[in-house]
Amino acid sequence: MKRIVFLDYVRVFACFLVMLVHAAENFYGAPGSTDMAGPQSLLLSEADRLWVSVYDGFSRMSVPLFMIVSAFLLAPMKEGQSAVEFYRRRALRILPPFLLFMVLYSTLPMLWGQIDSETSAHDLSRLLLNFPTLAGHFWFMYPLIGLYLFIPMISPWLARVSAKEERMFIWLFALSTCMPYLNRWCGELWGQCFWNEYHLLWYFSGYLGYLVLAHYIRVHLNWSTGKRLAVGSALTAVGAVWTILSFYVQAVPGVLHETPVLEIGWSFCTINCLMLTAGAFLLFTCIQKERTPRVILQLSDLSYGMYLMHIFWLGMWTSVLKGTAGLPSVAAIPAIAVCTFLSCWLSCLVISWLPGEKWVIGTAGTPASKSAAVSAA
């Protein structure tokens, strides 16, 4: 199968944005929270309010971009491939590293006193139920695996659906992404009530919409490069401004905020995040190189392992750059993200040369990516 070059760029970009999001969370978590934002948020200054809004808000396309990349490559399933074979290949690719890091996040932090033995034992006892206390970023794995589980079910429909029918699904999905705002302004609607969460658009909502959008772009969208650039730029700009302002206008410094209320526009299935993600992805589709540059290829291949481990490095760099160095948020947030990204890259690079590396970071490494390791070093 020919490598789709622009997807490598998307993976690397999205991987860095995930780290930028989590770097920013250190500047609005309420006292006593972990490196991830907790149920309540507190901004200490106008500068933190501005730069958390900008850096974190713009980066909220990261998770949907990962969803779109997976869907772009995997949906519909290859002709003749069974659901069992599809599940087996996906499970071998993602589950061993995921389970390994679940154990690591449940145990290693005891070495530097971040958790105690009781918390460790509790996390280990619940590994089959949910992510560990210090691995909040692993929430993403569950909807991703959910999409994988659903791909064999939706593949027959995707294989025969017309562009018009698929556009109808996408429009209904887009309407469903307006519901967080409609709920805020209008209360319960379209069948919602305290005993029923399955509203009118339930079956068109969630990350499945990004899967269908990815398929539509790959199969049915025949826009010129110029049109993709124009529409992509407009969607990205509007989506970014909306997403940034949705946080900024509410985040009054010195006031304790409820995080779900403050982050209403940062939910990944909101209309503004959909615009931001779709626009950015369209811009990336304009990359028309025949080959992926070796460093980008290497980073793309290592991105899963980098995502899995990055919270370990993020905490250290936050302590150094925010705590010891005392950098202001305008510099500290990107610096933490860049240092975390580079540390994860080098760590995965070392692991990629070891036997059985695919069970640790999810890739055996391509010859091109491994040769890039030499030149990068």
192-247 pLDDT, tens digit each: 999 999 999 999 999 999 999 999 999 999 999 999 999 999 999 999 999 999 99
Separation of alpha carbons 365 and 352, rounded Å: 6
Cis before 152 (ω within 30): no
Q: Which two tokens stand for residue 73?
A: 């490559």
- In this prediction the pTM is 0.91
Confidence of residue 31 (pLDDT cuts 50, 70, 90): low
**Distance separating alpha carbons of residues 24 and 42, to the nearest angstrom:** 12
Residue 1 has pLDDT above 80, yes or no: no
At 40 the three-state DSSP class reads strand
Instruction: Count other Cβ atoms within 10 Å, centred on residue 321.
Output: 22
The two beta strands, 257-258 and 40-41, are antiparallel
3-state secondary structure of 366: coil
Q: Which residue has the higher pLDDT, 367 or 198?
A: 198
d(CA 254, CA 44): 6
- Measure the CA–CA gap between 3 and 289, rounded to whole angstroms: 11
**What was the pLDDT predicted at 3?**
85
pLDDT for position 2: 76
Answer for the pair 310, 365: CB distance below 8 angstroms, yes or no.
no
Element (H, E) at 150: helix 141-160
Measured distance CA(284)–CA(228) in Å, rounded: 9
What are the pLDDT digits (tens) for 99-125? 999 999 999 999 988 889 999 999 999
Looking at the predicted structure, is the pLDDT value of residue 279 above 80?
yes
Question: What are the pLDDT digits (tens) for 291-301?
Answer: 999 999 999 99
Token output for 323: 């705590």
Taking residue 182's Cβ as centre, other Cβ atoms within 10 Å add up to 15
Average pLDDT over residues 300-320: 95
Q: Tell me the Ramachandran region of residue 130: left when phi exceeds 0, alpha when psi lies from -120 to 50, beta otherwise.
A: beta
- For the beta carbon of residue 48, count every other beta carbon within 10 angstroms: 21
Task: Tell me if residue 133 falls in helix, strand or coil.
Answer: coil
